[in-house]
Amino acid sequence: MTEQRDRENKTKPVNDIWKNRIADIWQNARTRLTQFLPVEQVSQKVVEWFSVSEAQVAETVRAELPTTEALLIGKPQAGKSSIVRGLTGVSAEIVGQGFRPHTQHTERYAYPSSDLPLLIFTDTVGLGDINLDTEVIIQELVGDLEQDSRGARVLILTVKINDFATDTLRQIAQKLRQKYPEIPCLLAVTCLHEVYPPGTENHPAYPPEYEEVNRAFAAIEEAFKGLYNRSVLIDFTLEEDGYTPVFYGLEALRDRLADLLPAAEAGAIHQLLDRETGEKIGNLYRDVGRRYVLAFSIMAATVAAVPLPFATMPVLTALQGSMVGVLGTVYGQTLTPSQAGGVVSAIGGGFFAQAVGRELIKFIPGFGSVIAASWAAAYTWSLGESACVYFGDLMGGNKPDPKKIQSVMQESFKAAQERFKGIKPRAS
């Protein structure tokens, strides 16, 4: 019998022999691990530990994001929606659809989403209408400002450069400034082209050195003296108006807001306006996401340190899928477990062979587990970084670029290998 079995083994392809050996090792490892560390129970427990509810994640993100609340106070057609377009980069149509009724005389628009906003704009509706009671509008604005806010606040008084009937606006500004002197106020004077000298077809170099503009600007500043902290000249038009740049004075607006806002909120607005670098909105969420990525990476190292080849892979897979699900929630994307697994496969599929290799190295007592733990932590970190880029693209309304994501995966993996180099499993 023995000789016959030996002859059969010699005739089998080498690959089949190795498959049988790996299958035997796998089965043996699973049996041993089940005795000391039940895989299914551990996998379930890992998911429970790191399955944070959407409400919890949203609460954390809201607490960490540099959100700015801007109260836009001005008459209709004074350029309030244009300021929203300039600061967010979205189209006039989207801005128009984005505003929702907030109170009887105000509307609100949150960007990029109402759940996780970076900018919240509150617009006064019907200001200047003689049939409206100004005191009612003031009370609504006061009631809004009475609410707790985790973010920074700024008042933006919006006045057309050729509009001097500003008594109502000045009355509202006086009441709000008396009650909330700590909230900074920016006076934005708009629609400059309406007082350009005859025959002027385009914007001059900023700031415009036209006597007509300077004289009107000085008069408006005098009318609102003592009611604002900074002032700025802007002219935000539509493409079809023919003026270039479309957002004339945008950098000045950004800089004035930066003077009035805390560093974090000012930095967020700078990044939103940094069109040339190609930064996505989602990058502002990455610092929050990294909190979760670090926790998952440490957990992955702990799990991978179990010195049983292949037996811990199901646990790591469950853990990494859970991490991607949580990161999706951070970026406003709700994923089912199967969808999260699909994202993991799409991002980290090229690392599967390396994962198998790192499991095999566990056959080296002691040293093998240290290598496996370090690799698992680095891989989980790079997977999380890449997922942040993936979800950031989706949040910014762009199709994720596989080449860019793979490049991020490779670069972050190399950096993470150094970061987690020599991480040691805790002694049992």
Most confidently modeled range among 39-43, 150-154, 319-323: 150-154
pLDDT of residue 161: 97
AA identity, residue 365:
P
**Beta strands in 222-271, from DSSP E residues, in sequence order:** 230-233, 235-236, 247-248
- Whether 89 shows a pLDDT value over 60: the answer reads yes
Predicted pLDDT at 366: 42
**Per-residue model confidence (pLDDT) at position 58:** 57
For residue 43, what pLDDT is reported? 45
Give the C-alpha separation, 419 to 376, whole Å: 12
Please say whether the beta carbons of 60 and 116 come within 8 A.
no
Instruction: Report pLDDT for 371.
Output: 58
51 or 254: which leads in pLDDT: 254
Identify the bridge partners of residue 123 per DSSP, sorted by sequence position: 72, 107
Give the model's pLDDT for residue 149.
74
Range scoring the smallest mean pLDDT among 58-62, 71-75, 214-218: 58-62
Please report which confidence band the pLDDT of residue 341 belongs to, taking 50, 70 and 90 as the band edges.
confident
Band (295; pLDDT cuts 50, 70, 90): confident
Would you state the pLDDT for residue 277?
38
What pLDDT, on a 0 to 100 scale, did the predictor assign at position 64? 65
Q: How confident is the model at residue 421 (pLDDT cuts 50, 70, 90)?
A: low
DSSP string for residues in 47-69: HHHH---HHHHHHHHHHHS--EE
Pick the more confident residue, 264 or 200.
Answer: 200
- Residue 26: pLDDT band by 50, 70, 90 thresholds? very low
Residues 352-370 have a mean pLDDT of 44
| Confidence check: pLDDT of 16 > 70 | no
> What are the chain's domains?
24-59+284-419 (no CATH), 67-261 (3.40.50.300)
Mean pLDDT, the chain, integer = 75
Digit-coded pLDDT (tens) for 210-223 = 999 999 999 999 99
* CA atoms of 60 and 377, how far apart (whole Å): 24
- Looking at residue 62, its pLDDT comes to 64
φ/ψ bin of 149: left (φ > 0), alpha (ψ from -120 to 50), beta (otherwise): beta
Q: Are 385 and 292 in contact (CB under 8 A)?
A: no
Cα–Cα distance for residue pair 175/184, rounded to 1 Å: 14
Which residue is listed with tokens 């859970």?
322
Compute CA 8 distance to the chain's CA centroid, rounded to the nearest angstrom.
61
- State the Cα torsion 200-205-207-208 to the nearest 10°: -20
Residue 265 confidence (pLDDT) above 90 = no
How many Å apart are CA 70 and CA 316, to the nearest integer?
44
From 112-116, 120-124, 139-143, 152-156, the region with the lowest mean pLDDT:
112-116
pTM of the model: 0.60
306: how many CB neighbours lie within 10 A of its CB?
A: 22
Mean pLDDT of 132-143: 81
